[in-house]
Amino acid sequence: MKVLLVTSNWAETYGHAVRSMAAAEQLTAAGHEVAVLAPASFRHLFPSGVRFYESVPKPAYIENKLPFFGYHTYEDLIFVSGHADDFHLIDTIERERATIRDFQADLVFADMQFTIAISAHTEGVRLASIVNWPLHPAHNIELEDLHPGRKLILRRVRNIWNRVLHKYGMPPVEHVCRTLFDHCQLLLVPSCKELEPELLRYEPEAEFVGQLVPDAFKEEPGWFKQWEHTCKEPLVFVYLSSLPFGINSRSTFEMMYNVFEKNPVRAVFAIGKYNSAFLDHPLQSSEERIRFEPFVPSETVMAHSSLCITPGSNSMMVSAMRHHVPGLLFPDTYERNFNAFCMERAGLGIVCGEDDLARERFESLLHEGLAGKSTEISLRIQNQLTALEKTPRLVRLLESASRGGVTP
């Protein structure tokens, strides 16, 4: 089987590459031929045996930055990332179509890349895609009812997408994300039913495959092995997003550092790919037990952590639940609000806001988070994720989808 992996070209954070990296590892181990279509900056992430195609870059006016807009639903992100221009959309689709033909793909596996639904449909190739509940149009219904002006704001991007859909002989949509759900033969959720059950009400055939993590994110770097021997305090894993907005700021890191310095914990701060605040003047730690790292293997660190502090990205939520790590959650987008709610619902998350970044309040939350106890629900979720990890389903599901079959 020849599988083309397609990451998003509207966001270049590692969160949009790691699941494709994991899929590439599993597929090649099973003897399948794999290629990937991704931004040029992802080339080094994939092994030499995987054929690499470069996707269309974001428009020049975006300049690799993601400005804040609205409530950061996926439609908002598509808008501000440049996928609201006819020419850019068509360039992206034509690059995808050319790659499908050149590689002669039997199946396309996409990670939240909406244009690929048009490309795969036009080329007559079956499509499997990573999805989650915040991606679904029904997730935004309440938001649009509360803020009807959003329909006017997003009217332009929806009209542009419908013009492009018409060009390729496809029906219009009322919501950009509908494009993916309407033309995908296999919906894959990198989670478990107990953690995120909402999607099944609308997409009952969606398949939960658990956490998808590449081997590189499970390795132990040399500094970590030494650290484990010399520092025995409870470990706090801080990852405030790779994007240069929200609480992922120098002042937040400095406040947390000062609190950790005065408490019996050790901590590792993962800075993030696009956090430009640290490029010219990296933060330095005078404490061996507190580290600042540009990249950390998240699974390794999470597996040893007693508490995580995060805005609530999907991958961090699932990782924390898999390793049963309580979290202090500072959601800064609509999707992350849902992820934070999932951890809170399971009894492992404390949802925080801007007022909780006051030093005294944060120190109190630190102690509360470290004292967190397991719940019946959190243990069930951990058991489900562990079972999915021990018996991987991804390759079997993709093989069945490529044949046009219905998966068990």
Q: Which residues partner with 291 through β-bridges? A: 268
* Model pLDDT for residues 183-232, shown as the tens digit of each residue: 999 999 999 999 999 999 999 999 999 999 998 888 888 888 888 888 88
What kind and span of H or E run contains 109? strand 107-111
Q: Who has greater pLDDT, 49 or 333? A: 49
Instruction: Answer left, alpha or beta for residue 112, where phi above 0 means left and psi between -120 and 50 means alpha.
Output: left
Task: For residue 225, give the amino acid letter.
Answer: K
pTM for this prediction = 0.92
Every domain of the chain with CATH number 3.40.50.2000 lies at 2-209+392-402, 217-386
- Measure the CA–CA gap between 286 and 70, rounded to whole angstroms: 39
The CATH architecture to which 217-386 belongs is 3-Layer(aba) Sandwich (3.40)
Q: Topology of domain 2-209+392-402, per CATH?
A: Rossmann fold (3.40.50)
pLDDT tens track for 122-169: 999 999 999 999 999 998 777 777 777 777 778 888 999 999 999 999
Mean pLDDT rounded to a whole number for the chain: 89
Q: Which of 315, 305, 322, 296 is nearest to 390 (CA)?
A: 322
